[in-house]
Structure 1
Amino acid sequence: MKVIIALAALVAVALAAPQRDADAVVVRYDSDNIGVDGYNYAYDTSNGISAQENGQVINAGTDNEAIAARGQFTYTGPDGVQYSVSYTADENGFQPVGAHIPS
């Protein structure tokens, strides 16, 4: 259940990014594994957005059970610059890394 909630939240964030093309469509979607122990997905859209993520349950069956995810996404901003972000999301929070993100 937690995996589905995390996946839905991450897809919502990706879809909330401003689109330059209101008619953009998904041109590639891969999902190798979505189950109770983990998941893996990737997609590309016709307007240049791409993303991939994999995650797994850590500390299963304990009070510290959580989902640990790693991924990346790329998009072209309104300024025409291509932005890339890599991230981890786990019990320590969401930790993005990108050339445009202050450290």
Structure 2
Amino acid sequence: MESIAWMAWTPATAAFFGVIAALLALMTLLAVKRPETPRVGVLAIPTTRGDRLFISLLGAAFIHLAFIALAGTAPLGTLPVGEGLEVSRLWIATGLSLLWAAAVFRWV
């Protein structure tokens, strides 16, 4: 069996996968309780909630990768909490990803 020690299982990674699991569970409940008919947005193709979730997650991945390539991951600053809590630049990419997701769910 190969070692998976290289994987970065941090609290942030766990939270990320936890949120995705919660979104998928919510989408499943919505599909059962309130069936949706596909709608046509700016892409001019019919999309469902699941399609829009996939498009927003894919876009978020590209936004984060581009942000890391262009701006790096150096901390923005340190908060005076405990021994100092660093604030990552990736929070900016996360904010951009949330704006992207809101736009996708609104107009796609």
**TM > 0.5 between the two?**
no
- TM-score, structure 2 as length reference: 0.29
Write 1 or 2 for the structure with the bigger share of helix.
2
Write 1 or 2 for the structure with the bigger share of strand.
1
> Which structure is higher in RCO with an 8 Å CA cutoff and minimum separation 6?
2
